[in-house]
Chain A
């Protein structure tokens, strides 16, 4: 069956991006306050590409992803252009949405412990999605669930099919979750920190597996993480988010080797990669801004070592740095040359 999936999904119209988001903003309006969670995000994803969204907690990564499926509470207001596989998500009716979710776009959650229903077997839960979207019988759906479990390399899949979530380890649960997400061969897979809750060794296995499955099925994948090494492992493109905006975007190698935005630079400098153990790891001073307030200038300016007067008053422009690469900062000005990098970053 995995072969069928490759056959059906590897021949899409490559001219149409699977995700096309322009000027998307999400705010949560409640009586007490309005939280501006996402403020004008643009990105495109071609079929078969993997985009990694990096950023700290509260930077709007998960909210942006959920907005792609309109999987947000009622008090969330989404604005801008959000197209998924050529269709406008924001104008979809409720029934169009439920038809799309799970079939065209599906999602893997962070906590495999709680993302599976404890009272149903793994097989029941995988076949549930299949039965919902395809006119097949229970036997066929169960058979496909078994194939899917084998497809995600679950050992002794036939037995796991009849197991309850609490009988499986974290890694196996996450695989079951992945099998569930892949059950209807989606064109786009959203992964919300799928490896954060797992052990380091299992993390790598799941990452490699996800990358492999994504290539085999030729689907697009958006991967949310705050772990740079994870991004380096799986991504084609990287989008660095800060305070609800993409501050830097580009090919994974360019961004991680040659970061242009001070936030990306600071984040890379604060990761451990074989430094002298007596040296302190440089951290970014300060804390992220309050998302209930809208700042006039660059949202990173209060923490930025290079901030100038204008950074505090006007929002920095989007500076294009070659094809598919940009940073929202005044620093990567071509006239200032490549010596803007404050610290040497070894990749």
Chain B
């Protein structure tokens, strides 16, 4: 850049700032901040590993997670090639944990993603329109708020019957109200700011104001909040399977494994704890990454 020597003496020179050499885009800034956040990187790597293992489960050299063996029931960790031991039907725990990660991750991510679309959309509309529309949408959300989230998920799943699809729907319904509320609050705050009025003064219609200025400012906080909900979703999904309302029995699933193994807790407590540890590590990692993202994505810092 050749503009380093601005002619002094002009009025402009007074307001010129110290010259910076690089201009960073928003995402470059986020990346830069994340690179220095070792904790977030560590937990991000764990999530990546879990996701990779779950995705690659069919091609990994694992035993069949459904293969039972009456002789090898409830063997301890490290027994004869069963790295994590076996469960109450003699199935390989390692294989079941990795395969079970598929359904747990799916149940963690998909309901939150769907709820982000539906709840976030409703929240932005409610926040932007205000008045009657806001009142109708938010009061309906309040009705859902009257129930604790797990109870609501159990109630919906129970009413519709078990199975993965119904669990998914019930979890989505559970996560719509909080996401809607966060989106509504953020939108209401942004809507009153000068730049929205400035956009209106430069001829922007409601659609383009929502599309550029509202979404641009609301997306980051809502996204961060949603990422924190992934861990809750994994927990609640596990809870549903534990109660027999989620995934049907032979399919490996962390919550379901925890449920069936709990009878064996006096025989082999370590093996019983493994699915719980998997849930703990996964949800903790999502929480930590969510916190790191919030710090990295805050523009005004």
Residues of A within 8 A of B (CB): 69, 71, 94-95, 98-103, 106-107, 109-111, 114-121, 128-129, 132-133, 153, 155-156, 158-159, 162-164, 166, 168-169, 171-172, 177, 180-181, 183, 201-202, 205, 208
Interface residues of B in 209-228 (CB under 8 A from A): 212-213, 216-217, 220
Residues on the B chain within 8 Å of A94, using CB: 205
Closest to A180 in B: B202
Number of A-B contacts (CB under 8 A): 114
Contact A132 B202 (CB under 8 A): yes
**Please, could you name 11 A-B residue pairs with CB atoms under 8 Å apart, sorted by A?**
A100-B203, A115-B195, A119-B26, A119-B216, A119-B217, A120-B212, A129-B202, A153-B12, A159-B1, A168-B17, A205-B11
Contact A102 B195 (CB under 8 A): no
Q: Quick one: given A109-B197, A118-B299, A205-B11, are A132 and B3 in contact (CB under 8 Å)? A: no
Contact A172 B15 (CB under 8 A): yes
Contact A69 B201 (CB under 8 A): yes
In the complex the two chains form, what is the Cα distance from A309 to B89 in whole Å? 103
Residues on the A chain within 8 Å of B220, using CB: 119
Contact A133 B15 (CB under 8 A): no
Interface centre among B13, B203, B205 (most CB of A within 10 A): B203
A118 is contacted by which of B198, B204, B300 (Cβ under 8 Å)? B300
Interface size on B (CB < 8 Å)? 35
Residues on the A chain within 8 Å of B146, using CB: none
Closest to A115 in B: B194
Contact B195 A129 (CB under 8 A): no
Contact A117 B202 (CB under 8 A): no
Contact A166 B299 (CB under 8 A): yes
In the complex the two chains form, what is the Cα distance from A247 to B205 in whole Å? 36
Q: Quick one: given A114-B193, A164-B299, are A208 and B6 in contact (CB under 8 Å)? A: no
Interface residues of B in 16-51 (CB under 8 A from A): 16-17, 19-20, 23, 25-26
A171 is contacted by which of B15, B23, B25, B216 (Cβ under 8 Å)? B15
Contact B198 A128 (CB under 8 A): no
Interface centre among A111, A153, A156 (most CB of B within 10 A): A156
B139 an interface residue at 8 Å Cβ cutoff? no
Interface residues of B in 53-90 (CB under 8 A from A): none
In the complex the two chains form, what is the Cα distance from A27 to B212 in whole Å? 32
Smallest CB–CB gap between A309 and chain B, Å?
A: 45
In the complex the two chains form, what is the Cα distance from A168 to B13 in whole Å? 14
B208 an interface residue at 8 Å Cβ cutoff? yes
In the complex, besides A111-B194, A158-B3, 9 extra interface pairs with C-beta distance below 8 angstroms are: A106-B202, A107-B198, A119-B217, A119-B299, A128-B199, A129-B202, A166-B299, A181-B202, A183-B202
A-B interface, 6 closest residue pairs, ranked by CB to CB distance from nearest: A102-B202, A102-B203, A101-B203, A115-B194, A156-B3, A114-B194
Closest to B192 in A: A114
A162 is contacted by which of B11, B25, B205 (Cβ under 8 Å)? B25
Closest to B2 in A: A156
Q: Quick one: given A69-B201, A132-B202, are A169 and B17 in contact (CB under 8 Å)? A: yes
Smallest CB–CB gap between B17 and chain A, Å?
A: 6
B14 an interface residue at 8 Å Cβ cutoff? yes
Residues on the A chain within 8 Å of B197, using CB: 71, 109, 115
Residues on the B chain within 8 Å of A132, using CB: 202-204, 208
Closest to B22 in A: A159
B195 is contacted by which of A116, A121, A162 (Cβ under 8 Å)? A116
Contact B195 A163 (CB under 8 A): no
Closest to B23 in A: A162
In the complex the two chains form, what is the Cα distance from A38 to B23 in whole Å? 46
Smallest CB–CB gap between A132 and chain B, Å?
A: 6
Contact A156 B19 (CB under 8 A): yes
Contact A117 B195 (CB under 8 A): yes
In the complex the two chains form, what is the Cα distance from A121 to B28 in whole Å? 13
Contact A118 B23 (CB under 8 A): no
Residues on the B chain within 8 Å of A156, using CB: 1, 3, 6, 16, 19
Interface centre among A110, A117, A132 (most CB of B within 10 A): A117
B11 is contacted by which of A98, A120, A121, A208 (Cβ under 8 Å)? A208
Smallest CB–CB gap between A101 and chain B, Å?
A: 4
Closest to A177 in B: B198
In the complex the two chains form, what is the Cα distance from A166 to B16 in whole Å? 15
